[in-house]
Amino acid sequence: MNWDSGAIMIETTDGGYSIVGANYSKAVGQFDLWIIKIDSSGNKLWEKLYGGVSYDFGASIIQTPDDGYLVLGSSQISDTSDPEIWLMRTNSNGDSLWTKKFGIGLGESIISTSDGNFLITASHPMFINSKIIKINPEGNILWSKSFDTSLDLGNSIVRCPDDGFIIAGYTSMLIYGQSDLVVTKIDTDGDTVWVKMLGGLDQEKGKSICKTVNSEYIILGSTDAQGAGGTDLWLILLDKENPSDVENYFISPNSFSLEQNYPNPFNPSTKIEFRIADFGFVTLKVYDVLGKEVATLVNEEKQPGTYKVVFSPESSFKQLASGVYFYQLLVSALQGKDGKAENYIETKKMLLLK
């Protein structure tokens, strides 16, 4: 299995691109921070690995005025230790000039400021209370500030015309669901100007933010609460004149659905996802081929949203043999167009292999 990964790619002053990520070493079973330089046609010019007997990951990279690089990531000595925020300065050929560590955390994104310094976003390993650090070109800390629970992870940052910054990430404050996409504006001193949350009853996350050619801000994120099922890409465009005009936005499913279980066939367990568009009493039951009920997975009132449950025959229903089973979703006491109660019902087939 190849576990090499690229985190981000930037365009460089020579018309080419630089990619930062992590390279997995099968020999030692650990990762090294990895930089690849390519030309405009995608041909590799050079690549370099950084790190030692530790888990080293690259998350963000920017080019410095001398065509060198500042690379942000994290370094973890062992499985039992906490990762540390790791910053590295290189020359234009990728040779390391110096490295700095800024305590426990995961480096997420780095950007230059109008005064010639740099801003770093970092998250806690437990994804609580992310922070922002301002450094000078030598990597020395000018100031550091932690967010409260309004931002657990700041994945990406962009500079505004007023020299403030907008950060895209997510929070687990559970205003709407398991996690909500968060857009945060800070001023030049790192103080919060405004915070907006967008989400549904499941997981929404902000992955990246950038400024368009029209000076608007576009956010790339993910959502489990709408789309084609499972996790979908989510694009959000902010108003260029007043980005804070985006409202706290709740996504509610606009239809009912029962998804195919995954994995299928399965052993020992499988996940079943369903969506409901209205409040109702929900039952999700499993039947054998003779129509005998063998398990009740859900039996309660639920609000509109997307839900996932796990069916584990081995843990609760050891008498079940290999074969075909049916799972049925029933949502009752719905309000129909004529004002009368209606039911939504759907059944799907799954295969248990022992």
Amino acid identity of residue 32, one-letter, is D
Using left for φ > 0, alpha for ψ between -120 and 50, and beta otherwise, residue 250 falls in beta
* Statement: residue 251 has pLDDT above 70: no
CATH number at residue 217: 2.130.10.10
Q: Residue 324 is part of which domain span?
A: 257-352
Residue 174 and residue 277 in one domain: no
* Statement: residue 194 has pLDDT above 80: yes
Mean pLDDT of the chain: 84
Arithmetic mean of pLDDT, 324-353: 80
Task: For residue 184, give Cα distances in angstroms to 77, 147, 176, 248.
Answer: 32, 10, 17, 12
Arithmetic mean of pLDDT, 50-77: 92
Q: Which of 107-111, 189-193, 207-211, 335-339 shows the lowest mean pLDDT across its residues?
A: 335-339
Highest mean pLDDT among 18-22, 80-84, 221-225, 304-308: 18-22
Closest CA to 72 of 95, 99, 94, 54: 99
* Statement: residue 105 has pLDDT above 60: yes
The better pLDDT of the pair 129, 339 is held by 129
Residue 10 and residue 85 in one domain: yes
Residue 37 and residue 173 in one domain: yes
Confidence (pLDDT) at 250: 47
Confidence (pLDDT) at 324: 92
* Statement: residue 55 has pLDDT above 70: yes
Confidence (pLDDT) at 47: 96
Residue 105 and residue 85 in one domain: yes
Residue 212 and residue 270 in one domain: no
Distance CA 33, CA 321 (A): 48
Indicate the Cα dihedral angle 303, 168, 189, 65, nearest 10°. Answer: 180
Arithmetic mean of pLDDT, 314-318: 58
Residue 197 and residue 312 in one domain: no
Of 189, 217, 251, the last residue of a domain is 251
Strands 217-223 and 96-104: unpaired
The better pLDDT of the pair 58, 241 is held by 58
Residue 232 and residue 331 in one domain: no
The better pLDDT of the pair 158, 225 is held by 158
Of 220, 251, 282, the last residue of a domain is 251
Confidence (pLDDT) at 272: 92
Confidence (pLDDT) at 109: 94
- For residue range 208-225, what is the model confidence (pLDDT) as tens digits? 898 888 888 888 888 776
242 pLDDT band, cuts 50/70/90, is low
Beta-bridge partners for 267: none
Residue 66 and residue 148 in one domain: yes
Arithmetic mean of pLDDT, 183-202: 83
* Statement: residue 200 has pLDDT above 80: no
Q: Taking a C-beta distance cutoff of 8 angstroms, is the pair 86, 122 a contact?
A: no
Q: Taking a C-beta distance cutoff of 8 angstroms, is the pair 237, 249 a contact?
A: no
Residue 13 and residue 98 in one domain: yes
Confidence (pLDDT) at 350: 93
248 pLDDT band, cuts 50/70/90, is very low
Number of domains observed in the structure of the chain:
2
Residue 207 and residue 269 in one domain: no
Residue 211 and residue 292 in one domain: no
Arithmetic mean of pLDDT, 202-209: 79
Residue 245 and residue 326 in one domain: no
Distance CA 342, CA 276 (A): 13
List the structure tokens of 238: 């902010």
* Statement: residue 136 has pLDDT above 80: yes
Confidence (pLDDT) at 119: 96
Confidence (pLDDT) at 249: 47
Q: Which of 23-27, 118-122, 297-301 shows the lowest mean pLDDT across its residues?
A: 23-27
Confidence (pLDDT) at 264: 85
Confidence (pLDDT) at 335: 59
Confidence (pLDDT) at 1: 46
Distance CA 242, CA 349 (A): 50
Q: Which of 39-53, 223-237, 286-300, 323-337 shows the lowest mean pLDDT across its residues?
A: 223-237
CATH number at residue 294: 2.60.40.2550
Of 251, 279, 296, the last residue of a domain is 251
- For residue range 71-100, what is the model confidence (pLDDT) as tens digits? 999 998 877 788 899 999 999 999 999 999
Percent share of the chain, pLDDT over 90? 41
Percent share of the chain, pLDDT over 70? 82
